[in-house]
Structure 1
Amino acid sequence: MKPLLPVLEAQQRLLALVEPVAVEHVPLHEAAARWAAEDIPALRTQPYADLSAMDGYAIRFADMPGPWHVIGESAAGRAFAGSVAPGQAVRIFTGAPVPGGADTVLVQEEATRDGTALTLTGDGPPHRGRNIRRKGLDFTQGDTLIEAGERLTPARLALAGISGHAALPVRRKIRVALAATGDELVPPGTPLAEAQLPETNRMMLAAQLAGLPVEIVDLGILPDHQPTLEAGFRAVQADLLVTTGGASVGDHDLVRPALEAAGATIDFWRIALRPGKPMMAGMLGNTAVLGLPGNPVSAFVTAQLFVRPLIARLSGAADPFPATRTVPLGEPLPANGERTDYLRAELRDGHAFASTIQDSSMLRTLARASCLIVREPGAPPAKTGDSVEILDIA
């Protein structure tokens, strides 16, 4: 039997099977949580002019310490049309353009005004240019603001908008077909006969993908009947087909033979991973295929490690893999075996605890978990307080 494929190699091989999908331009509000398909340049300069950073008076620093004669007012969206000559000042508000001739803003708390007469009453600005946001301080027209492959976060969307964009280039949404397999499965809420089980993997997977740019195609529950499976797989029109169940080697594990009979090529099967070893991956025409285990915990973990990164890759992400971080252990862990282990864990007071929620057959323990502790193959025992790598999960 071939050795189990390491997790990182499996991830890299999976992502190498596909290329990002076609580009479309969408309004800013529709681009949220997608990835930029091209570099996004600034279409304008921000600030567009020298602007006041404070409420006060625009003056010439050479005229310090005054007094001054106030000749007008500059407000955001309503600039002073003239210029400031020696001995003059212009009342100015935060965000307003600094009038020509002025080079400093005297804050209003350090001055007293009597009609048009302005007198310094505080220390005043310490140097020329004080309290002014210079033209182009944030960015200049033509600057690259967002690089291709970067996630379009709320802040980046705001940046794109203020730089002049009403729409952005992104990859079209990914069509993901979800199918559960197994004669024992029935929809949740159905009265159960003996040996029947409510099927929740499709709903769980759809929820795991809710923050990604996807369109879900629900194929429902497919029986353990190879001709039916084969016909269902042949009819799929999607970028990605995700199945759960039937991925192992039992007599009723028919997903792989049905996929191959439908024309799929299996690139790899069986990973050095706990939980989730029997996962398979391949291509069915132009459709990527991921066969996840039917065990809900295994399906959840493999979706985090493979389904989500594959969708990110198809969507043009520069870095599609999930990010991990380091936290201290709240309790000891034993040495790890030959597979990369993703331990369900709870975070309490910044420490990770895993000892009571490891039964991979129990959804209640998965529901308690807020992260996965990543244990590399052959990792030695870990003590309380040792640093461990975790992957946050929703």
Structure 2
Amino acid sequence: MISVDEALERILKSVRPLGSERVALAEAARRVLAEDVCAKLFNPAFDVSAMDGYAVRAEDVQPGVTLRMIGASQAGAGFDGTVGPGQCARIFTGAPVPSGADAVIMQEETRAEGDAITFECDVAPGRSIRFRGEDFGQGDVLVAAGAALDPRKIALAAAGNVADVAVSVRPRVALLATGDELVAPGGVVGPDQIVASNSVGLGAFFTGHGAQVRDLGIVADDRDVLGDALGRALAEKPDILLTTGGASVGEHDFVQDMLKANGVDIDFWRIAMRPGKPLMLGRTGKTVVFGLPGNPVSALVTARIFVLPAVLKMMGGTLPAALYLPLAEDLPPNGPRRHFMRGRLVSDAERGTQVEPIRQTDSGHLSSLASADVLIVQDENCSGKARGEIIAAHLL
């Protein structure tokens, strides 16, 4: 049995980035950038008004002064003239600031009588103007390589006039569930059977992180049948093969033997953690194989802690940093295995955001995992933590 840290080190040594491809920006959500995205223009491209009002020379304006309106500037149709002494121009939000003007006064601070505009305030140069390049300049790095593209970053790239981006190739993840007791969701559940939730949950998890997922179904606890199914799965050369169940040492746990029979070199298969001790890592050719526990909480927790870092490294990305938060309640002592305890984020005006341990620790108790926001990291042989102490937590 090896430590969590050693397991992670071995896993990350076994994977490498998969290369890159170019895709349309509109199709790049959740993809990881393989190259920096740089702006192709300035934003704003020219000085623009942040208000509906009047473009003025600041030195001409004081309470009670009246200026003559000589034209109008609107978005997509700027005013070609120059604002001179004693003059102003009508202007709308997003419109170019006319030559000669250096401030904008919103219309609520004026009175208009035809072309005579009376102002009711003082103004400093630059008021209510968004200056050329204020957001970013041509050639600026908008999004750095290694970032996952979310809606905000995609909008920023689009504003920089970027139409396509270089992104990392998405890992192909194959899922194979094992167990005589399993029935697919929606099926007829016999008296000794349970619904198979692992592949559905894992598929959603890795799809949400940018992988291409293929569910290979459920295989019975039969050596020959399992061996054939694993052979077919490995023949497709996925980047990652995930099996669930059958990775322990019971009389019907055949996964490890059948992987070896199909040419998989096993690196390790037990981790000093809970939930999820029977985690297996192997490799054949370009395919990294993970044997995850069959208990649904254990499967999802080990996927988050161990498989996700491998997926992200293949895509050239990195894991989000751990959160460090005060405990909302005391944490009891822990044994020799690192505990990834389910936790909720709670917040109030007095104490800010804290993490509340969920006391349910059964590895088959999915409702408690579904209600969790984070996995609290409690180190091996921890003597316990008092309410208010800072502890690390991984977002789910």
TM-score by length of 1: 0.90
Bigger shift: residues 363-372 or 92-101: 363-372
| Worse-superposed segment, 324-333 or 152-161 | 324-333
Segments ≥4 residues shifted beyond 6 Å: none
Q: Is contact 1:174–1:215 with CA below 8 Å preserved after alignment? A: yes
CA contact (8 A) 2:243 2:291 kept: yes
Deviation (angstroms), 1:133: 1.1
Q: What pairs with 1:31-180 in structure 2 (closer than 5 Å)?
A: 31-65=28-62, 66-120=65-119, 122-125=120-123, 127-180=124-177
Higher alpha-carbon deviation: 95-104 or 26-35? 26-35
Given that 2:344 and 2:358 are in contact with CA atoms closer than 8 Å, whether structure 1 keeps it comes out as no
Q: Percent identity?
A: 45
Cross-structure match for 1:302: 302
What CA deviation, in whole Å up to 9, does each residue of 1:58-77 have, x standing for no partner? 12233334532211000111
Q: SS in structure 2 opposite 1:156?
A: helix
Partner of 2:350: none
Matched residue, 2:394: 391
- Partner SS state of residue 8, structure 1: helix
Cα deviation for residue 132 of structure 1 reads 1.4
One-letter amino acid of the structure 1 residue matched with residue 286 of structure 2 = N
Q: Are residue 258 (structure 1) and residue 261 (structure 2) matched?
A: no
Change over 3 Å in CA distance of 1:227–1:97 after alignment to 2:
same
SS at match of 2:85: coil
Unmatched tracts of structure 1, length 5 or more = none
Looking at structure 1, the residues matched to 189 and 92 of structure 2 have their Cα atoms a distance apart, in angstroms, of 70
Distance 1:155 1:257 in 2: 47
Aligned residues of 2:61 and 2:121 also touching (Cα < 8 A): no
User: Secondary structure of 1:161's match?
Assistant: helix
Distance 1:8 1:110 in 2: 63
C-alpha deviations, 1:139-160, integer Å up to 9, x for none? 0110001000011111111000
Return the letter of the residue paired with 2:142: L
Deviations 1:322-365 (CA, angstroms, capped at 9, x unpaired): 54323333433222122110112344555544464112233344
Q: Is the 8 A contact 1:26 1:169 kept in 2?
A: yes
Code of the residue aligned with 2:386 in structure 1: it is K
CA, structure 1 residues 257+128, in 2 after alignment: closer, same or farther (shift >3 Å)?
same
Can you list the C-alpha shifts for 1:224-265, whole angstroms capped at 9, x where unaligned? 333433332232222210001111223322212221221222
Aligned partners of 1:324 and 1:205: how far apart in 2? 21
SS of 1:202 mapped into structure 2? helix
Residue in 2 aligned with 1:361?
364
Q: 1:139 to 1:347 in 2, by over 3 A?
A: closer
| Offset of residue 123 of structure 1 | 2.3
Q: Hey, what's the Cα distance between the residues in 2 that align with 1:307 and 1:329?
A: 27
Counterpart check, 1:200 vs 2:197: yes
Quote the residue 1:215 is aligned against: 212
User: What is the rounded CA distance, in whole Å, between the counterparts of 2:330 and 2:23 in structure 1?
Assistant: 50
Q: Secondary structure at the match of 2:158?
A: helix
Q: Name the structure 2 match of 1:381.
A: 384
* Distance in 1 of aligned mates of 2:371 and 2:108: 55
Q: Would you say how many aligned residue pairs link Structure 1 and Structure 2?
A: 386
Counterpart CA distance in 1 for 2:9 and 2:268 is: 11
Deviating more after overlay: 215-224 vs 382-391: 382-391
1:283-362 equivalence runs, <5 A: 283-317=283-317, 319=318, 321-348=319-346, 351-354=354-357, 356-362=359-365
* 2:254 maps to amino acid: L
Amino acid at match of 1:314: M
Relative to structure 2, which stretch is displaced further, 326-335 or 178-187? 326-335
CA offsets per residue over residues 177-209 of structure 1, 9 Å max, x none?
100112333334544455433322111211222
AA matched with 1:374? V
Determine if contact 1:342/1:374 at 8 Å carries over to the other structure: yes
Consecutive unaligned residues in structure 2, runs of 5 or more: 348-352
Distance in 2 between the 1:28 and 1:137 partners? Answer: 24
Paired residue type of 2:261: A
TM-score (normalizing by structure 2): 0.90
- Give yes or no for contact 1:47–1:134 (8 Å, CA) kept in 2: yes
Mean CA deviation greater in 59-68 or 253-262: 59-68
Task: Confirm or deny: 8 A CA contact 2:177 2:198 kept in the other structure.
Answer: yes
SS in 1 for 2:208: coil
For 1:210-234, what per-residue CA distance to the aligned partner results, in whole angstroms no more than 9, with x for missing partners?
4122222121112233343333223
CA deviations 1:27-73 (Å, max 9, x no partner) are 22321122111100001110000111222221223333453221100
**Counterpart secondary structure, 2:5:** helix
Q: CA separation of 1:365/1:87 partners in 2, compared to 1, >3 Å: closer, same or farther?
A: closer
- Provide closer, same or farther for how the CA distance between residues 235 and 102 of structure 1 changes in structure 2, counting only shifts above 3 A: same
The answer on whether the counterparts of 1:110 and 1:124 sit within 8 Å (CA) in structure 2 is: no
Aligned CA distance change for structure 1 residues 132 and 386 (closer, same or farther; 3 Å): same
